[in-house]
Every structure is written in C-alpha cells, then in structure tokens.
C-alpha cells in the first residue's frame, strides 16, 4: 500500500536496500574491471549506493548475450500472445513494487514523491502493459499484385536495441523504449543515465521474474562512454536515445561510423506557450503555464519555458502567473506535500544558476525567484520568472532544463507565430484562445510535434505519438507508431 505521510517515506528510505550492479545475461554483476561510482541524493548530498561503472568489456558481454538470445528465437519467435502475457506480468510486478520504485526515483533524481507515485511509476507500468496488449492485434498486409503472385508485407524485430535514456524521468523514459522494443520481439540493452540509474537496475530483476529470458533485457549503468560504445558497436542494430540535442548528434555520428544502425532521437526543446488576448480563462492559463515549467523542477524536454503573452493582457497575466509560480517553492522530495524537488546534480544546478545570472546580465527583468534555495541541505532552486525585452536573449533561445521561465510580449498573432517558430527546436507548443478557428489556424502553423490548445501537457496516455520537428529529433515514442522504430519491413513475393 502506498505510503501517505512524510514520516512513512523517511522510514521506508531508511530501510531500503539498493542494488547498484549491472544486469547482464540474466544476473546482477559487477563491472568487468570492478570500477564503481557514487550515487548521491541531490536533496541531501548523502551517498545512496555504489554503482557499477560499466565499460567496453561490459558492453561486449551484454551485446554478445543479447545477440545470442535474439537469434535463438527464445523471445522473438514466441507467439505474440505469449510474449504479451509475459510483458503483462512484468507490468504487474512494476505495480506491485510501486512504492520501492517511486522511492528509488525520488532519492536518486530529487523528484517529489507525490509525482513518482502518481505519474512516473504508474505510467511506466501502463506503457509496458499497453504494448503487451497491442502486439497480438497488429498484423501485416497482403499487397495487391499480379494474380500469379502472392505479396506479403510483414514486420520483423530489428534485433538488438540499445536504449540510452535520460535522468529526468528515468523509469518512464526507459519504459517508452523497452516497452515497444520488447513487445516487437527485440533484445534490449538499457543504458540509464549515470545521474539516475537506480530504477532501471531494479526493474531488470522484475523483468526476469516476469519470465523475460536471459539476455533479452539487460542494464548497463555508467558514464556516457557506455552509450558511445553501444552506438559504435557492430552488434547493435538500433539505438533509441532521449537526451540533449548535442549528444543526439554524437549518437547519430557514431551509428554512421559503424554499421549504419537505426537511430531514433528524442531531443531538446524550447517550447512556446502562446496566450492570446481572447484566452478563455487567464487564471487557468497562468496556473497551467506555471506547471508547464516548474513541474519536475523544469527538467522536462517539453517544458513550456517560453510564455508568449499579448501586450493587452500582459499585466493581468503576470500577476496570476507569479501567484501560481509561488506555489512551487521547493521542499523535501520525500514530503508528499512538496510540489518541486531538487535539481538532479551539482552540474545541472550550476548550469541553471548560470543561466539565471545570464538573464539578468542581458537585461531581462527578474520578476520572481532567481536564487538557490535550502543551500545548506541540497540542490534546490527557486521558481524563477523573467520578463524579457527581446526574444533573442540566451534564456529565450537555449534549453535551460531548470525552473526558469522567460516571458515574451507580442502584439499580434503573426508576431507570436514568428517568435514561436524562431527556434532550432520543435518538440511542443501551446496556444490559448476562445476562437476555434484561431486554434486550428495557429496550431497548424506551429512547427512542433505536439500542440496543446487551452491546456499544457494534457493527454498523457499512450495513444498519442511523442516526438519533435527540427533539432528536437526524429521518430516517435508512444502509440502504435513507436513499434515501427523497432521493426523492419519485409516484402515477400510468392509465385504461384
């Protein structure tokens, strides 16, 4: 049963036993050279565990085991209904261990326990279950061809998939990769971020308990060199990556240097949230705008980090926004009442504070926050709002990945669309208007993979594809479209 009080979670944290080894070929193992690195709680600075510091030798072992398991057919050749049954058991085990996994996520990444229990872990279980239920309902095609032929179009698993996943939603982003990849019949090697490896390591044992064969689901914690080795490895058929645009470009380059493996990239964003003068509910728009940037400490690729507000309603909107933002003052992530937790590590904490200093130096007006909080306890930053005189400031153009909001003023819809699209990214956007025609017209012109109208970050179920335009990446997570990433199309023609 889920804990309900701060004291409950603190007690469970004190009793928690943490696994830090890699999971290779069905068993937990130390790194080949015995190296380890510290896993640290960003809210307290306390060491949580020693984590296996994997290297090239571990990558080679994992890829060898994955290739052997895949080619044996022990997973890929299972009837879809049987593979789905095992994945449903996997999802059920994630739910059974929800408190443990949520706690690991909170301790490891600084995320509020109220979020990890209500969003991250349940959504990860749902993702696995959703793909488990889909795979025996998707068929191929019989192509219309010459009557002397039978033409079949089928999908086959791509082979060995490396899933290189980020630190901001560790278990959820991992499930978006391994859920469809396993469902399609592939062998999967998960490389979690070294900043938040704990849940990926733990769910590996649950995968085995569910019945996923040895070698089909493996986890290699370690630094970026592990992801590089996987992307360069000739035995890996596909890399699915979520992270920064800069690293995504490197991953694509490594794939090109090696075996031209499939590469799917979900990258950064600088998403615009447009508030038009006929916004139907200004107070709700302000609350939504605050949640869009301060939820998960702003460590969200779709974060609404740019609010574009019409000059006629700016002052009223800013008053509502500051009131809404103040509700996100950071606190202990183990307290269910906390709405914003700790920044993931010292590197990111320093980066975010550096952007705040840059915003001030470039002439933006600091309306709220702007400082570190609870500096004697951990890595916290106040919710921060800037009124920006121009849309070309660094804080308006570069992805900060922290609780920093840039407010930009516009005078007409055309200017808003121009500012919104003037970015290298294209992950998400939103528009607030009471006019349904305006909503359709603006959303069509926004160059983004997801556009929300009169809301932000709604529709979190699995039915909508997730991904971006431009340098926000390629391919899509979630929905049936994600299965396309982990399969190869085959045309078979039989002469009668």
| Per-residue tokens: 380 | 């916290």
SS (H, E, C) 287-340: HHHHHHHHHHHHCCCCCCCEEEEEHHHHHHHHHHHHHHHHHHCCCCCCCCCCCC
Which pLDDT belongs to residue 375?
84
Which pLDDT belongs to residue 376?
85
Which pLDDT belongs to residue 2?
55
Q: What angle do CA 51, 53, 59 make, to 5 degrees?
A: 125
Non-local CB neighbours of 238 within 8 Å, separated by 6+ positions: 158, 159, 160, 161, 162, 181, 186, 261, 262, 263, 264, 485, 486
How many Cα atoms are found within 13 Å in the side-chain-facing hemisphere of 419? 27
Does 266 participate in catalysis according to the annotation?
yes
Which pLDDT belongs to residue 98?
98
**Rounded-to-integer distance, Cα 369 and Cα 386, Å:** 9
- The candidate with the shortest Cα–Cα distance to 385, out of 407, 401, 352, is 407
Candidates 105, 266, 320, 399; catalytic one: 266
Which pLDDT belongs to residue 1?
47
Q: Whole-prediction pTM value?
A: 0.97
pLDDT tens across the length of the chain (496 residues): 456 899 999 999 999 999 999 999 999 999 999 999 999 999 999 999 999 999 999 999 999 999 999 999 999 999 999 999 999 999 999 999 999 999 999 999 999 999 999 999 999 999 999 999 999 998 899 999 999 999 999 999 999 999 999 999 999 999 999 999 999 999 999 999 999 999 999 999 999 999 999 999 999 999 999 999 999 999 999 999 999 999 999 999 999 999 999 999 999 999 999 999 999 999 999 999 999 999 999 999 999 999 999 999 999 999 999 999 999 999 999 999 999 999 999 999 999 999 999 999 999 999 999 999 998 889 999 999 999 999 999 999 999 999 999 999 999 999 999 999 999 999 999 999 999 999 999 999 999 999 999 999 998 789 999 999 999 999 999 999 999 999 999 999 999 9
Contact assessment for residue 216 and residue 182, using Cβ atoms and an 8 Å cutoff: yes
**Rounded-to-integer distance, Cα 289 and Cα 319, Å:** 13
State the CB neighbour count (10 A cutoff) for residue 463.
Answer: 9
């Amino acid at each position: 049963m889920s804990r309900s009080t701060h004291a409950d979670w603190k007690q469970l944290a004190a009793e928690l036993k943490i696994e830090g080894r890699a999971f290779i070929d069905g068993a937990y193992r130390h790194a080949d050279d015995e190296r380890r690195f510290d896993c640290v709680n960003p809210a307290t600075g306390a060491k949580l565990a020693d984590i296996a510091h994997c290297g090239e030798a571990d990558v080679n072992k994992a890829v060898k085991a994955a290739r052997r398991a895949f080619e044996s057919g022990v997973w890929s050749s299972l009837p879809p209904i049987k593979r789905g049954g095992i994945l449903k058991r996997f999802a059920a085990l994630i739910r059974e261990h929800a408190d443990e996994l949520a706690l690991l996520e909170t301790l490891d990444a600084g995320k509020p326990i109220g979020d990890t229990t209500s969003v991250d872990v349940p959504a990860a279980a749902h993702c696995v279950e959703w793909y488990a239920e889909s795979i025996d309902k998707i068929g191929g095609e019989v192509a219309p061809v010459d009557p002397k032929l039978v033409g079949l179009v089928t999908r086959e698993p791509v082979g060995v998939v490396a899933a290189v996943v980020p630190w901001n939603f560790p278990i959820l982003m991992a499930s978006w990769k391994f859920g469809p990849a396993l469902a399609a019949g592939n062998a999967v090697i998960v490389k979690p971020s070294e900043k938040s490896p704990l849940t990926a390591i733990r769910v590996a044992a649950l995968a085995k308990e569910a019945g996923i064969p040895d070698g089909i689901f493996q986890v290699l914690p370690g630094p970026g060199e592990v992801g590089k080795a996987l992307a360069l490895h000739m035995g890996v058929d596909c890399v699915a990556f979520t992270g920064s645009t800069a690293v995504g470009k490197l991953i694509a380059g490594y794939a090109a240097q090696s075996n031209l493996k499939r590469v799917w990239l979900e990258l950064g964003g600088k998403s615009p949230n447009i508030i038009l003068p006929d916004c139907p509910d200004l107070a709700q728009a302000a609350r939504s705008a605050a949640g869009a940037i301060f939820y998960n400490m702003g460590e969200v690729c779709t974060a609404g980090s740019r609010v574009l507000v019409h000059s006629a309603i700016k002052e009223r909107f800013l008053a509502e926004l500051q009131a809404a933002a103040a509700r996100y003052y950071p606190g202990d992530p183990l307290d269910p009442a906390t709405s914003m937790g700790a920044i993931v590590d010292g590197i990111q904490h320093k980066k975010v504070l550096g952007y705040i200093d840059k915003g001030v130096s470039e002439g933006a007006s600091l309306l709220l926050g702007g400082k570190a909080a609870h500096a004697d306890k951990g890595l916290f930053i106040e919710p921060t709002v800037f009124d920006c005189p121009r849309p070309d400031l660094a804080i308006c153009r570069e992805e900060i990945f922290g609780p920093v909001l840039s407010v930009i003023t516009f005078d007409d819809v055309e200017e808003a669309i121009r500012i919104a699209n003037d970015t290298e990214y294209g992950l998400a956007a939103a528009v607030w208007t009471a006019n349904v025609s305006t909503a359709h017209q603006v959303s069509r012109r926004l160059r983004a993979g997801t556009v929300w109208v009169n809301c932000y970050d709604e529709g979190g179920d699995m039915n909508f594809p997730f991904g971006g335009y431009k340098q926000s990446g390629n391919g899509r997570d979630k929905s049936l479209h994600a299965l396309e990433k982990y399969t190869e199309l085959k045309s078979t023609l039989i002469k009668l």
